[in-house]
């Protein structure tokens, strides 16, 4: 049966740089332009990290707000989903403080502590490695603060551990229905994409939950295809992957969105508008 599928575009993360792809946006103006192009290509929501002009990851609430407002003013229809991760070294206070101040419609909520690393598979050399800390008490605190600010959380699960932590906290009253999950595949320290594991994650979701999925690097395309087949939504973007399926460098975030839209339509579904996405996700006004 045909249904509406939401495309989220993760414009830039805390690590992807112009050296990898010149289309990676840094400045508020670049983020706003990239978001508008992604919207025109079919994205209903953008996921946003802030960067300084030189490309350094930013934890400054002023910079996050400037970038958020640039996107919202250029494309008011878009849902802007802020990160509560911010990147390596960000404190818990920095991570949640900018969300409480800005009050976006949606924000990510990371659901488990994990290794977050990069490894050269050919040599075994560890390129980067840190512990991405998300203690259960802080997950509960973040969910309470988001609830009070009327920010709908997107629950980020890098493995089944994130889903299990939701069940420990589901009766706090801070998770309004429908609950929205994002499965992240391919991060070193999380779980690589395997179809059977994906199906198991979906089978263990709470009733009436929504799920989106994204994959890092070349895992992006099989992940989003599986998500559509399993009844979910999709996330693409230069935060996760800088290349098209044929290995060529993506011209833009919008090029990744356009390809995702083609997959959705080829599988017999339709791309959701931002307002349709708001209804599906249960975003409170």
Asked if residue 64 lies in contact with residue 50, where contact means CB atoms within 8 angstroms, the answer is: yes
Asked if residue 233 lies in contact with residue 253, where contact means CB atoms within 8 angstroms, the answer is: no
pLDDT at 37 over 80: yes
Tokens of 184: 């992240």
What share of the chain in percent tops pLDDT 70? Answer: 100
Distance CA(243)–CA(251), nearest Å, equals 9
CATH number, domain containing residue 57: 3.20.20.70
Tokens of 235: 């996330």
Tens-digit pLDDT profile for residues 121-160: 789 888 788 899 999 999 999 999 999 999 999 999 999 9
Q: How confident is the model at residue 68 (pLDDT cuts 50, 70, 90)?
A: very high
| Residue 8 φ/ψ region, left for φ over 0, alpha for ψ in the -120 to 50 degree band, beta for the rest | beta
Residue bearing tokens 């045909």: 2
DSSP conformation class of 151: P
Provide the whole-model pTM: 0.97
3-state secondary structure of 86: coil
Asked if residue 209 lies in contact with residue 179, where contact means CB atoms within 8 angstroms, the answer is: yes
Report the residue count for the chain: 285
Beta-bridged to residue 183, according to DSSP, are: 157, 213
pLDDT at 284 over 80: no
What mean pLDDT is predicted for residues 38-49?
98
Where in the sequence is the domain holding 249, given as residue range(s)? 4-281
Whose CA is closest to 107, among 149, 59, 56?
149
How many distinct structural domains can be found in the chain? 1
Q: How confident is the model at residue 262 (pLDDT cuts 50, 70, 90)?
A: very high
Residue 144: CB atoms within 10 Å:
15
DSSP conformation class of 132: E
What mean pLDDT is predicted for residues 155-171?
98
pLDDT at 119 over 70: yes
Asked if residue 256 lies in contact with residue 21, where contact means CB atoms within 8 angstroms, the answer is: no
CA dist 198 to 7, 50, 78, 228, 271, Å? 19, 30, 28, 12, 22
Asked if residue 114 lies in contact with residue 162, where contact means CB atoms within 8 angstroms, the answer is: no
What mean pLDDT is predicted for residues 46-68?
97
Q: How many helices (H) and strands (E) in the chain?
A: 9, 12
CA dist 272 to 34, 43, 224, Å? 19, 8, 15
CA dist 181 to 25, 201, 275, Å? 26, 10, 19
Distance CA(16)–CA(37), nearest Å, equals 19
For the chain, the average pLDDT equals 96
Helix (H) or strand (E) holding 82: strand 79-82
């Amino acid at each position: 049966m045909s249904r509406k599928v939401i495309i989220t575009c993760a414009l830039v993360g805390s690590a992807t740089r112009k050296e990898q792809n010149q289309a990676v946006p840094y400045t508020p103006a670049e983020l706003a332009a990239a978001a508008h192009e992604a919207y025109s290509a079919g994205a209903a929501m953008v996921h946003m990290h802030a960067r300084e002009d030189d490309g350094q990851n930013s934890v400054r609430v002023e910079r996050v707000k400037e970038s958020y407002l640039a996107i919202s003013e250029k494309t008011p229809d878009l849902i802007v989903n802020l990160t509560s991760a911010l990147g390596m070294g960000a404190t818990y206070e920095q991570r949640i403080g900018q969300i409480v101040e800005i009050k976006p419609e949606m924000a990510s909520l990371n659901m488990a502590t994990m290794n977050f690393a990069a490894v050269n598979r050919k040599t075994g050399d560890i390129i980067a490695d840190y512990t991405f800390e998300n203690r259960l008490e802080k997950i509960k605190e973040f969910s309470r603060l988001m609830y009070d600010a009327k920010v709908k959380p997107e629950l980020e699960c890098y493995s089944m551990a994130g889903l299990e932590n939701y069940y420990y906290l589901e009766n706090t009253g801070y998770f309004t229905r429908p609950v929205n999950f994002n499965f992240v595949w391919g991060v070193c320290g999380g779980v690589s994409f395997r179809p059977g594991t994906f199906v198991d994650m979906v089978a263990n979701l709470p009733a009436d939950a929504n799920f989106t999925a994204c994959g890092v690097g070349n895992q992006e395309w099989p992940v989003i295809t599986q998500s559509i087949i399993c009844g979910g939504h999709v996330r693409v973007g230069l935060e996760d992957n800088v290349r098209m399926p044929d290995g060529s460098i993506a011209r833009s975030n919008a090029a990744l969105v356009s390809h995702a839209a083609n997959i959705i339509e080829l599988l017999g579904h339709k791309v959701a508008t931002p307002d349709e996405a708001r209804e599906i996700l249960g975003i409170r006004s």
